[in-house]
Copies of this chain bind each other. A is one copy, B any other.
């Protein structure tokens, strides 16, 4: 996405956006999670130009988010497919987070065209914040600590500077 070196070093958000912040990138990942693997299938669903798709797949591959795999079906010539790596799966909270925000705030019905369910029990899946004991965390209970400094004083540590009243 082209940000300054300063930003990239000082902020992991900016650094990640430099890889996945381009216009079509997240939508490519969405399609990968839907099982899309091949160039033309991406192309058809995304309706972007092949040049753009090619460039994005390259970036994602070089970043280790996708993996280009050669395969050959019996009697066919060699083909390639793009598979998600573990690094891709670790972006799921981002992708699903975007989806559920849109579901809640942009879809007329308050829910979107796609639902995620656990295979085992059929429970709805969502992105959320948890602590290292896997317990749900309320946004108001979070404080920001800068590694280079002492723990922030309470007044500063307030987070996310909660909206006093609702918009």
Which residues of A approach B to under 8 Å, CB–CB? 1, 4, 7-8, 10-17, 19-21, 23, 26-27, 30, 32-35, 37, 47, 63-64, 67, 83-107, 111-121, 123-137, 139, 141-148, 156-164, 166-167
Contact = CB atoms under 8 A, between A and B. Distances in A.
- Copies of this chain, complex-wide, total 2
A125 B142 contact: yes
Nearest to A162: B89
B126 A133 contact: no
9 contacts: A15-B102, A16-B102, A17-B26, A86-B163, A92-B160, A118-B137, A121-B131, A125-B142, A127-B127
Contacts of A20: 98
A10 to B, nearest CB: 6
Contacts of A144: 33-34, 114-116
B129 A141 contact: no
A27 B14 contact: yes
A16 B99 CA distance: 7
Nearest to A160: B33
Nearest to A10: B113
B114 A146 contact: yes
A35 B163 CA distance: 11
Contacts of A133: 123
